[in-house]
Amino acid sequence: MTATRLLWTAAGRPRPEGACDYKGRCYWCGLPAEGLGRDRRSLPSTFYDAVGRDASLPGAEALCAACGWTLSDGVVLPESVGARLLAAALAPDSDGRVSLDLGQGAFRAIVGCPAGHPTGVVGVWERPGKIPDEHRVREAADPATTLYLGPPEPLAARVTGKFRNFHAFATEGGRWEMLTGGEKARLREILLEPPDEPWTLSIGDGQKHEAIYGEVSPPRSLGRQTVRFQGAVVFYSPQELAELIAAIEGLLLAGAGQDEVEGGLYTPRAGLPWLRALRVSGPIVAFWRGSPVFGLALYLRRPLAELKGGA
């Protein structure tokens, strides 16, 4: 099982963007496409230029549905994520922009709850650059320019997003989560206490595709775990990662800057707390510095304000 298949299966085998009938093997992973695929010509040329050489079967016509789906820009998100994005778009200080899929593919809309529809959401198609501010849905009273989309609850299950904007997590048992960069606490929780079944997690920068390079990690009980993190596959032990995060946080809490922790050159500080932090945490951090696990731990560490609040 590949990481893309694990994600796709956990998400309920959705139809990818640009889907076509395809019975051959996948251009990317090389596995049989099971009748549904995505024409590889529908992928942007930038994808080819960057990663075309990594394809398993460069001669194949199409990608399997799973690999094609993880490259989509209009993936229907889990309902909880959709509800959050929709609520953010409907907030009074928001610009109302959200992507939806009402059955005929993803499109961008500007949504709102104007006075005429106190319990529902109305929307207008977004054509970038062509909708002046005064036509936004909150101000638009003309029903000809707006569309009643319905109450927010069912709409939450139709919110879409670019796959690469999220950190995709799935397990063989069918758990599927799309996490944002702001959900580091959840990422930390997953990585420090991984599921005891095959799972996959790809942490990207929001711009590049990561999930398609993802690896399936063995269950927690089988030892070292695997995660795709910003361009590299990281093999780690949850215990060691927890220890490293604690050491980094200890140094930061004692007054070190992130650049000092990264580079290992510390400005000497007076006071015993600093000496203690450096003597206790310094060797642990020094041991891992420069390794992929170190980058992951730096990414997962809590912000200083939170550390001080919890200390």
Partner 1 sequence: MNDGLSRADVELLLAQPPQARAVALLTGQAGPLAGDAALAYTEAQAGFCYLLHVAWRLARPLDPKERRRRVLGEKPPYEARAMFAARVRAAVSESGDLRDFVVQLGRRLDYELVEFRRGDLAWWRSYLAAHAGAWFQLRQPTGLEECLAAAAVLDEWMGQIRRGMLPDERATEDAGEAT
Residues near partner 1 (CB under 8 A): 264-276, 278-280, 282-283, 286
| Strand duo 121-125 + 147-150: pairing | antiparallel
CB 222 within 8 A of CB 266: no
Nearest distance from residue 259's CB to partner 1, in Å?
12
Rank residues 115 and 272 by Cβ distance to partner 1 and give the closer one: 272
Q: Which is nearer to partner 1, 253 or 275 (CB)?
A: 275
* Cβ-based nearer residue to partner 1, 51 or 280: 280
Using alpha carbons, select from 66, 10, 7 the residue that is nearest to residue 38.
66
The single-letter code of the amino acid at 2 is: T
Min. distance of Cβ 61 from partner 1 in angstroms? 54
Measured from the CB atom, the residue of 48 and 287 that comes closer to partner 1 is 287
CB nearer to partner 1: pick between 159 and 251:
251
Q: What residues form DSSP beta bridges with 229?
A: 203, 232
Identity of residue 23: K
We find the least distance from the C-beta atom of residue 13 to partner 1, in angstroms, to be 51
The CB-of-243 to partner 1 minimum distance in angstroms stands at 15
| Cα dihedral 84, 87, 89, 92 in deg (nearest 10) | -140
* CB 285 to partner 1: min, Å: 9
Q: Which two tokens stand for residue 73?
A: 């820009």
Shortest spacing between CB 286 and partner 1, in angstroms: 4
- Encode 211-228: b = buried (16+ Cβ within 10 Å), e = exposed: bbbbbbbbeeeeeebbbb
DSSP-derived letter for residue 295 is H
Q: β-strands 121-125, 106-112: how paired?
A: antiparallel
Residue placing its CB nearer to partner 1 in the complex, 242 or 280: 280
Reading the block at residue 233, the tokens are 């596959």
